[in-house]
C-alpha cells in the first residue's frame, strides 16, 4: 500500500447520500482503499491530501483546518443549479467562484465542465478526470428485470426509464409530455427531491406527479438501481444540464439504449453511441423508433464495452493516485 494519506470529505447526510457526487465519491473511495491509506470524513488534519467532493458548511470548516493539499472535484457547477435549486445563474456564478478559488486544485469531471470553471473566474489549477463506475455492479440481470416488472405491474410493456432528481433541470416536464405522446409505453421515473423545498418548482412538480397520465410512474428512491436499469427497455434522460452524465453511463453498462438531450458534454463523452434530441417531438420520435426497430435497439444497447474501456472505476482510481502523487512531488520540490 502506497504511503499517501488521503481524507475524503463528503457531506452525505440523509438523502444527500443518494446524490451523484456522493455515490461517485464512494465508488472512488472503495477503489482507492485497496491502494492507499484513505479515510472517509476522517477526524484531524494529519493527511497529505484532503479530497473534497462537496462544499457545504462541514466541508468548508474542514478546508479551513486542513494542513494538506486541498483538492475539490467539481461535481457541481452554476449551470446545473439553474432549474435545480432556487437562485439565479448570476448568484450561483458568484458563489461558485468565491468557494472554488479557496481550494488548491480542482478536478473537472469533463472538458465541458473545465471550460465553465474558467468562464466563471476560477483561477486555481485544474485537470480533467472523468467519472467512472463499478462494472462488477452495473450489469444487466434477468432476475432483477423480472422483479422490477412484477413490482410495478409492467408485464410486457415497453418501459422508458429515467433516474434522477425530480426537477426542471432533469427534464421532468418533458418526460411527462413525451409520455402523453406514447401511450403504449410506460414511463418510469426513479428518484426523489433531496433538496425538498429548496428544489426548483417543488410544489408544481408534486402536482404534476399526482396528475400524471396513467402510463407514468414515479417510484421515488429505488434501493437497487440495477433493477431499474435491467427492467427498462430504454433510458430517456431529457436533462438540461450535466457536468458529466453518470446515469447515461450506468444505463449503457446495463445494455440499455440511451435517449438524452443534445448537450455538449454528452457529445464529448459519448459521441454517437447515444441518441440525442432537443425537443419533445425529437424525443418521442427517437423512442418510437427504438420501440419499433429491434435492430436499432440492439445497436444502441451494445456499448457496454465502450464503458469498460474508458470508465472502469479501477482506471479512474489510478488516475486519482497519479494526481495525488504529482501534486505531492510538486509541493516537496518547492
Chain segment 100-133, per-residue pLDDT in tens = 999 999 999 999 999 999 999 999 999 999 999 9
Would 284 be classed as within a structural domain? yes
Does residue 92 surpass a pLDDT of 60? Answer: yes
Is residue 61 situated within a structural domain? yes
Residue 242 to residue 316: CA distance in whole angstroms: 19
Residues 254 and 319 in one domain: no
For 145, 189, 315, 323, the CA distances from 141, given in Å and listed in that order, are: 6, 19, 24, 35
Three-state DSSP state, 252: helix
Say how far apart CA 54 and CA 45 lie, in whole Å: 18
Domain total for the chain? Answer: 2
In this structure, the answer to whether residues 163 and 306 fall within a common structural domain is: yes
The pLDDT score that the predictor gives to residue 84 is 58
First to last CA, the chain: 26
Among 252, 240, 297, 247, smallest CA distance to 77 is for 240
Q: Is residue 154 part of a domain?
A: yes
pLDDT of 224-236, one tens digit each?
Answer: 999 999 999 999 9
Handedness of CA 267, 269, 273, 277 (dihedral sign): negative
* Same-domain status, 164 and 304: yes
Do 269 and 158 share a structural domain?
yes
Q: Are residues 81 and 182 in the same domain?
A: no
Residue range 255-280: mean pLDDT, rounded: 98
Residues 293 and 160 placed together within one structural domain of the fold: yes
The band of 13, judged by pLDDT with boundaries at 50, 70 and 90, is confident
State the chain's mean pLDDT as an integer: 93
| Residue 64 is assigned to a structural domain of this protein | yes
* Residues 125, 158 within the same domain: no
User: What is the pairing mode between strands 49-52 and 185-190?
Assistant: unpaired
Cα dist from 114 to 24, 75, 271, whole Å: 18, 11, 18
Q: What is the mean pLDDT of residues 293-321?
A: 98
Residue 18 pLDDT level (bands cut at 50, 70, 90): low
> Has residue 183 been placed in a domain?
yes
93 shares its domain with 157: no
Please give the average per-residue pLDDT across 252-267, as a whole number. 98
326 shares a domain with 298:
no
Is there a single domain that holds both residue 101 and residue 152?
A: no
- pLDDT confidence of residue 7: 98
Is 137 inside a domain boundary?
Answer: no
Taking only the tens place, the pLDDT of each residue in 33-45 is 999 999 999 999 9
Task: Supply the range of the domain harboring residue 154.
Answer: 142-310
Q: Decide if pLDDT at 256 tops 90.
A: yes
114 within some domain: yes
* Nearest alpha carbon to residue 174 among 24, 295, 277: 277
Q: Does 322 reside within a domain?
A: yes
CA distance 76 to 100: 11
Residues 67 and 152 in one domain: no
Residues 113 and 55 in one domain: yes
Residue 291's CATH number = 3.40.50.2000
Amino acid at each position: 500500500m502506497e504511503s499517501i494519506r488521503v481524507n475524503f470529505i463528503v457531506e452525505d447526510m440523509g438523502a444527500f447520500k443518494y446524490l451523484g457526487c456522493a455515490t461517485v465519491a464512494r465508488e472512488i473511495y472503495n477503489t482507492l482503499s485497496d491502494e492507499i491509506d484513505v479515510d472517509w470524513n476522517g477526524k484531524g488534519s494529519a493527511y497529505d491530501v484532503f479530497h473534497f467532493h462537496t462544499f457545504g458548511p462541514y466541508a468548508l470548516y474542514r478546508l479551513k483546518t486542513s494542513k494538506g493539499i486541498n483538492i475539490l472535484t467539481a461535481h457541481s457547477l452554476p449551470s446545473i443549479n439553474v432549474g435545480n435549486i432556487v437562485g439565479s445563474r448570476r448568484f450561483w456564478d458568484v458563489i461558485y467562484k468565491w468557494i472554488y478559488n479557496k481550494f488548491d486544485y480542482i478536478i473537472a469531471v469533463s472538458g465541458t465542465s473545465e471550460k465553465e470553471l474558467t468562464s466563471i473566474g476560477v483561477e486555481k489549477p485544474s485537470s480533467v478526470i472523468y467519472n467512472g463506475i463499478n462494472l462488477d455492479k452495473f450489469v444487466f440481470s434477468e432476475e432483477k428485470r423480472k422483479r422490477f416488472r412484477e413490482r410495478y405491474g409492467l408485464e410486457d410493456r415497453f418501459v422508458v426509464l429515467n433516474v434522477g432528481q425530480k426537477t426542471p433541470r432533469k427534464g421532468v416536464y418533458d418526460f411527462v409530455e413525451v409520455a402523453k405522446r406514447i401511450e403504449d409505453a410506460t414511463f418510469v421515473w426513479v428518484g426523489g427531491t433531496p433538496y425538498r423545498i429548496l428544489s426548483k418548482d417543488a410544489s408544481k412538480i408534486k402536482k404534476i406527479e399526482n396528475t400524471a397520465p396513467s402510463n407514468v410512474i414515479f417510484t421515488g428512491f429505488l434501493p437497487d438501481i440495477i433493477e431499474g436499469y435491467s427492467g427498462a427497455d430504454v433510458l430517456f434522460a431529457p436533462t438540461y444540464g450535466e457536468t458529466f452524465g453518470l446515469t447515461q453511463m450506468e444505463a449503457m453498462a446495463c445494455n440499455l439504449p440511451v435517449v438524452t438531450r443534445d448537450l455538449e458534454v454528452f457529445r464529448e463523452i459519448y459521441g454517437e453511441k447515444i441518441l440525442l434530441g432537443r425537443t419533445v417531438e425529437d424525443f418521442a420520435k427517437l423512442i418510437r423508433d427504438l420501440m419499433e426497430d429491434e435492430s436499432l435497439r440492439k445497436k444502441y444497447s451494445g456499448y457496454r464495452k465502450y464503458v469498460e474501456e474508458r470508465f472502469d472505476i479501477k482506471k479512474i482510481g489510478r488516475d486519482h493516485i497519479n494526481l495525488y502523487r504529482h501534486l505531492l512531488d510538486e509541493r516537496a520540490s518547492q
